[in-house]
Amino acid sequence: MNPRSTARRIAIVGAGPIGLEAAAYARALGHDVIVLEQRDVADAVRSWGFVAMFSPWGMNTTPLGWRAIGRGMPDQKICPTGNELRETYLLPLAATLSDSIRTGSQGVAIGRDDFAKGDAIGKADRAASPFRILVRDSGAGGAERVERADVVLDCSGTYGHHRWAGRGGIPAPGERAAEPRVWYRLPDVLGADREHFAGRHTLLLGAGYSAATVLHGLGRLHREDPRTRVSWAIRRVGQALEAIHDDSLPARASLVKGSLELANHPPEWLQYLGNCTLERIDAGAQFGVTLRYVETDMALVVDEVVALVGYAPDASIYEQLQVHQCYATAGPMKLATALMAGASGGGDCLAAGAAIGPEALRNPEPGFFILGAKSFGTRSNFLLQVGHQQVRDAFRILHDDAELDLYRTA
């Protein structure tokens, strides 16, 4: 324990990769930790567990975590699947923290015991008041309780809070009604979700790495079932169509290369629609979809709609805290400014870590930190290794020690 710091009650919202890492870091420093998780440990990772990551073990795990688990890292250059990451690292790490993790516990709202949002602005009194967290149990009764903490780390991510596919980022007419049937998360087109896509016509919206992953999966499915067809529409050129010079992640480079080839030379199973926006969607036995180009509309009838158009942070949990949000990305302002001004402006996730440091994590609300994918707002260039850096930097602030680093290897 750093002699300049005392043990604190630290509440962590979210038991995903960064929440678990933060909990392990806090426990190693002697803090009292509680982790609030609405669903199961690493539930979001499980939902896309069939996907092979394009970043290797060495970028997705830490020496601290492996020491806590009591085993060595697999070959750090190999890229795991989400399931391998969860089963080999995240679940064993969670097991070392089992007495601190509360699954089925949703953090609904965070405030201060003694102050509302507009009280004690810029005053030290605010930091002396404990955080008050309203927690709802996920059981049938939905019982609610209050937890208190000296420090709160919001590591709840964005994967469960999709953006809308409609023009201008708002829902297209009919999209809200169709929402339960639209795939806003990665479907397992070659596995558990195969029956929804094999031999059917899918509209794919999006131009990020997730959309590229689904596109290539549907291409493989076509080879197994030649009736499978895809119409692919993008709002603008995204990561899947932007090659990075001398990309140091071979799996990512291969994904982008394949997407560019499909866009430039569409095979017979693929209808590449280019830049257009979702104007309307009507869900019946099939989907009736209207896509808007600059001067004309196009109507389609499809069996499935996959809208991988990104995710956004849910800020409702901290609406009574003094958090300065970016008007463009909805992330915390200091971090958003650093990302937009730094080397990551071009979107390469490998450059994002270089743009941020401890000061970028500070909010006007003392003792409250937004870490992980949620801290990037609507930006999609987040990597787990950046989240690990954020965890280290947050505790450097809490311990007032610029050299504190539990990730150093002996």
| pLDDT, averaged across the chain | 93
pLDDT at 409: 66
Tell me the pLDDT tens digit for each residue of 284-325. 999 999 999 988 999 999 999 999 999 999 999 999 999 999
Distance CA 398, CA 368 (A): 10
At residue 270, the pLDDT reads: 98
Q: Give the pLDDT of residue 81.
A: 97
Cα separation, 410 vs 405, in Å, equals 12
Question: In angstroms, rounded to a whole number, what is the distance separating the alpha carbons of residues 111 and 130?
Answer: 9
* Token reading at 364: 């006007």
Q: Where are the beta strands (DSSP E) in 227-338?
A: 229-234, 270-275, 277-283, 287-292, 297-302, 304-307
Residue 9 contacts residue 148 (beta carbons within 8 Å): yes
What is the rounded CA–CA span in Å between residue 280 and residue 290? 5
H/E stretch holding 136 = strand 131-137
Burial category of 408 from C-beta neighbours within 10 Å (exposed 0-12, middle 13-18, buried 19 and up):
exposed
Q: Which residue ranges of the chain lie beneath pLDDT 50? A: 1-4, 344-346, 410
